[in-house]
């Protein structure tokens, strides 16, 4: 149990450093993206179609359920940013879509903020104000946001794929005989060396694309 916890902590440190690497000295961009990007996008981001999520978010506004609208718009924003990173050939179109959805998310949070202020829930109002500022910043810096998000998610998907394949190999090794296991462990070392070389090559490429 302790070993697994330590491995998890080490992975999280590496993942945090990935954002540091991509954002360079831009602390504000790094801070905001840390709240809006996911280390495991496949698990965290809604699997519903984007169009369905948009309809649900818009319906919450029509129903004047503004607090529900805030988190439904977040689901939409998270989804569209991820989709943009996976469709680089449509980057220009996605940027316009993201900015439009960010504008709608700002509106939803502003309406929710008005409501909670009337109810005297000032802590919640402060939280919503911060979210509004973050969305406005993301819209203003949309090129940098999509650039970093693309590199971040692509690296995370590669890492998660390596992890899943590693777990499959280790499970197979548990069922092997002694001699077969020794050879499998040697092959595992060779695979890990190749993965390490590949990570270094990707890291070098990211440094060349890093925000000045």
Instruction: Render pLDDT for 75-90 as a digit per residue (tens, 0 to 9).
Output: 999 999 999 999 999 9
| pLDDT attached to residue 38 | 95
- pTM to 2 decimals? 0.79
User: How high does pLDDT run on average in the chain?
Assistant: 88
Residues 91 and 31 in one domain: yes
Residues 41 and 126 in one domain: yes
Run of H or E residues at 138: helix 122-140
Q: What is the Cα 30 distance to its own chain's centre?
A: 12
Cα angle for residues 177, 178, 180 (degrees, 5° grid): 65
CA-angle at 175, arms to 169 and 178, nearest 5°: 100
Q: How far apart are CA 212 and CA 209, in angstroms?
A: 9
Q: What burial class does residue 21 get, using C-beta atoms within 10 Å of its C-beta: 0-12 exposed, 13-18 middle, 19+ buried?
A: middle
Rounded CA separation 187/189 (Å): 5
Low-confidence ranges of the chain (pLDDT < 50): 1-4, 6, 9
Tell me: the pLDDT tens digits for 141-163?
999 999 999 999 999 999 898 88
Alpha-carbon distance of 180 to 172, in angstroms, equals 11
SS3 179: helix
| 123 and 159 belong to one structural domain | no
Alpha-helical segments (H) within 24-121: 27-36, 41-44, 50-62, 66-86, 91-118
Same domain, 162 and 198: yes
Count of domains forming the chain:
2
Query: Does a structural domain hold residue 6?
Result: no
Which token pair is 63? 């129903």
User: Do residues 38 and 134 share a domain?
Assistant: yes
- 177 and 119, same structural domain? no
Q: How many CB atoms lie within 10 A of CB 69?
A: 25
The vertex-70 CA angle with 46 and 125, nearest 5°, equals: 145
What does the CA dihedral 187, 191, 197, 203 come to, rounded to 10 degrees?
Answer: -160
Task: Please give the structure tokens belonging to residue 166.
Answer: 């590693």
Is 131 in the same domain as 169? no
Task: Identify whether residues 203 and 159 lie together within a single domain.
Answer: yes
């Amino acid at each position: 149990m302790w070993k697994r916890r330590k491995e998890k902590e080490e992975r999280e440190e590496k993942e945090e450093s990935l954002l540091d690497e991509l954002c360079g000295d831009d602390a504000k961009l790094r801070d905001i993206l840390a709240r809006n990007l996911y280390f495991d996008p496949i698990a965290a981001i809604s699997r519903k179609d984007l169009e369905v999520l948009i309809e649900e978010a818009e319906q919450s506004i029509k129903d004047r359920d503004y607090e529900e609208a805030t988190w439904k718009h977040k689901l939409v924003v998270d989804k569209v940013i991820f989709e943009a990173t996976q469709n680089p050939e449509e980057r220009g179109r996605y940027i316009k879509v993201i900015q439009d959805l960010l504008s709608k998310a700002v509106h939803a949070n502003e309406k929710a903020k008005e409501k909670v202020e009337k109810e005297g829930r000032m802590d919640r109002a402060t939280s919503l104000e911060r979210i509004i500022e973050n969305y406005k910043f993301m819209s203003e810096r949309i090129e940098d946001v999509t650039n970093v998000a693309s590199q971040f998610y692509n690296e995370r998907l590669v890492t998660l794929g390596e992890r899943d394949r590693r777990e499959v190999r280790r499970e197979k090794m548990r069922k092997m005989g002694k001699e077969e296991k020794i050879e499998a462990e040697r092959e595992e070392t060779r695979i890990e060396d190749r993965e390490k070389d590949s990570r270094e090559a990707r890291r070098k490429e990211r440094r060349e694309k890093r925000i000045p």
